[in-house]
Amino acid sequence: MTDDNSNRFGLGRRPVLGGLAGAVATGAVGTAAASRQQHDGSTADTIQDDSAAGPPDAVPNEFENDFEIINYALTLEYLEAEFYTRGIQNIDDAALEQQFEGWGPIQERVADRLRVVRDHERTHVEVLEQSLETLGGDPIERPTFDFGTAVQESAEFIATAATLEDIGVSAYAGAAPFLDMAELVPPALSIHSVEARHASFLRELNGESGFPMAFDQPRSRSEVLELAGDFIVE
C-alpha cells in the first residue's frame, strides 16, 4: 500500500500479530477442545442470552465520501480473501477433518465449506474493485498481510476466521448507513448478510453460539482498523 493510502485509511505500518492475534492464538486450542467436548455431549453448550438488549447506538461517520467507504470495505475483503487463501493452502483437509472429529456430517464438509467462504471473499474483492472503477474511483493497492501461525494450524485458523468475520460484519454495519449513493446500498447490504452467515458458521465451528445476541453492535472505521491492523504489514 502506498504511503498516501496508508495515511488516508489509517493503515500505516503496524506491529503484526499484536493484541488481537495474541488473544486468538492463546484461546484457540482451548476453545476448539471445549467445542469438541460439547458436541460429544459431555459438556452442555453455554449460550449467551442477550435477547433483551436494545438496538445499538450509531457510530460516528469517519468517511469523507462513498469512495472511502468502498475502499475501506475492499481493504477488509482483501484481508479475508488472503487469509482464507493462505490457510487453505497450508492446512490440508485431513487436519481440518481431524479438528472436528465426532461432529457428524460437518467433519467431512468443513474443508469444502471453507473453500466456499474463500471464494465468496474473492468475489467480494472483484465486485468492490469493479464498483469503484465503474464510479470513477481508484481501488486502493492490496495491502501486505502477515497472519503468522493463524494460517498454519487448524484450531488457530478457525478461531481467527471467526474473529475476522465478526469484525467484517460490524464494519459493514457501521459504514453502510453513511453511503450517499443509493445504488450502493443494496450490494453493500447483500455482502453484509453473507458476511453474517460466514460469521455464524465460523462461530459455531469455534464452539460459540452463531447468533448470541438479538442485535449486533456496529464498529466505527477506527475501531475496525485498530483490530484488523494487527494483520496488516503495510
Instruction: Tell me the domains of the chain and their CATH numbers.
Output: 3-231 (1.20.1260.10)
**What's the predicted TM-score (pTM) here?**
0.79
Q: How far is CA 220 from CA 63, 173, 223, in A?
A: 10, 9, 5
- Cα gap 3→11, rounded to integer Å: 9
Residue with cell 453473507: 194
Written as tens digits, the pLDDT of the chain (234 aa) is: 334 433 333 333 332 223 333 333 333 333 443 443 343 433 334 444 444 456 778 899 999 999 999 999 999 999 999 999 999 999 999 999 999 999 999 999 999 999 999 999 999 999 999 999 999 999 999 999 999 999 999 999 999 999 999 999 999 999 999 999 998 999 999 999 999 999 999 999 999 999 999 999 999 999 999 999 889 997
Cα distances from 180 to residues 15, 68, 121, 131, in angstroms, run 34, 12, 24, 14
Contact between 81 and 125 under an 8 Å Cβ cutoff? The reply is yes
Closest to 99 measured CA to CA, from 31, 45, 32: 32
Task: Using alpha carbons, select from 172, 200, 215, 199 the residue that is nearest to residue 70.
Answer: 172
Residue 140 grid cell: 486502493
The string of DSSP letters for 130-172 reads: HHHHHTT--PPPPPPB--GGGGTSHHHHHHHHHHHHHHHHHHH
Q: Please list, residue by residue across 187-221, b when 16 or more beta carbons sit within 10 angstroms of its beta carbon and e when fewer do.
A: ebeebbebbbebbbbbbbbbbbebeeeeebbbbbb
